Copies of this chain bind each other. A is one copy, B any other.
Amino acid sequence: MPKAKFDLIYKDLRRKIEAEEYPFQSLLPSEHTMAAFYGCSRNTVRRAVSALAAEGYVQSLHGIGVRVIFQPVEQAVFTMGTIESFQETAARNRLNITTDVIRFTQLTADARISQKYGFPAGCELYYIQRVRRLDGKPLILDINMFRKDVVKELTEEIASGSIYDYLEHNVGVTIVTSKRKFTVEHITEIDEKYLELNDYNCLAVVTSQTFDADGIMFEYTQSRHRPDYFSFHDTAVRRCPARTQQTAEKRVYHRGKNPCPSINGL
């Protein structure tokens, strides 16, 4: 659990921004002011601010200040900006989810599997297929492969709940980094069998490789999402501060009460 000072400041600022205590387009207090307020160094404030910037809450403007660019948005079901399990996502949105395990076997990585999924050859794996339902509706077909030497004992019962939860609390595996690839693919027979696809002939596919605290890739997962319940959000920041020519006329929003030209919702 992070109880670091910068994290507390980050969370406090985020809360205030989400509560629109610092509204859209306003400037945060200066780093110096915040350092005094929180009783810390400017470095620590800066760290909190960069975390906010990385997640699209604010934008640092050289010589100006830190502008809030967060706008309350219609809550999508899947945010996916962080590593979050289906269970966690569902809980965060107060949804009623269930899981059907449709296949639970083991296999050994041969040359083809090793090549395709990145596990070492000869590696013992669990192979699991599950259907994730939300209020009964089948939304996701999950295909998981776990390294047996890392996740140890895994049962069908555990797979019917949250495998991640089990791994973190009972096995002591710590999920650290996850690499994901997002594509759109044609449906297969198994998709058609288990998901109610209506007239969609494609679905959203997220494949991910997950690494534990030892840097071992212990999981390969393919999540096949029904298009109508899928959305993925992202914030990108250009790594190239400025060179602000300010050719355009001034569009100024000062610290304090801003005019903030009636930007309706979004």
Contact = CB atoms under 8 A, between A and B. Distances in A.
A76 interface: yes
A215 B204 CA distance: 32
Nearest to A123: B261
Interface string A4-28: 0001000000000000000001000
Given A69-B177, A177-B237, 10 more contacts: A115-B265, A118-B266, A172-B246, A173-B248, A177-B238, A178-B235, A180-B236, A184-B184, A202-B202, A216-B251
B213 A177 contact: no
Copies in the complex: 2
A121 B264 contact: yes
A59 interface: yes
5 contacts: A115-B266, A171-B248, A175-B238, A181-B232, A182-B232
Contacts of A217: 69, 263
Nearest to A118: B266
A79 to B, nearest CB: 10
Contacts of A152: 247-248
A215 B178 contact: no
Contacts of A75: none
